[in-house]
Amino acid sequence: MAAHWPGAHPPCWKLMAGQSLCFRTWDEEEFLLYNNLSGDTHLIDADAIDVLLSLQQQPAGAEALLALLEMDSADRHLLDGMLEQLCALSLIEAESATAAC
């Protein structure tokens, strides 16, 4: 995802405004998320729901999210792929870097 943001600062991610994060799980592995902004229901994994819940609390950059998921920097491409997908689903959006990131 970083390649899509050629500016000097990596993006800071935040939950899309108005997203209510209505979700259910029956096994703590797969989660169903009702996207109240699009009307779609998404099947996502536990890491994705952790990221969304974290971003609901406050915006965060990739480094903070790597730490949240206990991933090391070698896994950065996995995180970037997830963030790109969540962005494509209009669940999160990038904002310019802030102190929180």
Partner 1 sequence: MLTVAALTRSALERALAGPGLDLQTGPFVTRLRTDISLIADGVALLYGAYAVLPPGGFADFHLHLFRPRGLRRWYRPQVLLESDGHQLFEPLPLSQAFPMFEWGLNWCVSNAAHSYLIIHAAVLEKDGRAVILPAPPGSGKSTLCAALAHRGWRLLSDELTLVRLDDSGIVPMPRPVSLKNASITLMRDYLDQPVLSRGVVDTVKGTVAHLMAPADSVVRSAETTRAAWVVFPRYVADAPPTLTPIAKARGHMRVAENAFNYSTIGEPAFRALAGLIDDASCYEFSYSSLDDAVAVFAQLTPEQP
Which residues of the chain form contacts with partner 1 (CB under 8 A)? 22, 24-27, 29-32, 34, 36, 39, 41, 43
Secondary structure string (H, E, C) spanning 58-78: CCEEHHHHHHHCCCCHHHHHH
Q: Where are the beta strands (DSSP E) in the chain?
A: 12-15, 22-25, 30-34, 41-45, 60-61, 92-95
- Closer residue to partner 1, CB minimum distance, 27 or 72: 27
Q: How far is the CB of 94 from partner 1 (least distance, A)?
A: 26
- Closer residue to partner 1, CB minimum distance, 26 or 72: 26
- Closer residue to partner 1, CB minimum distance, 42 or 76: 42
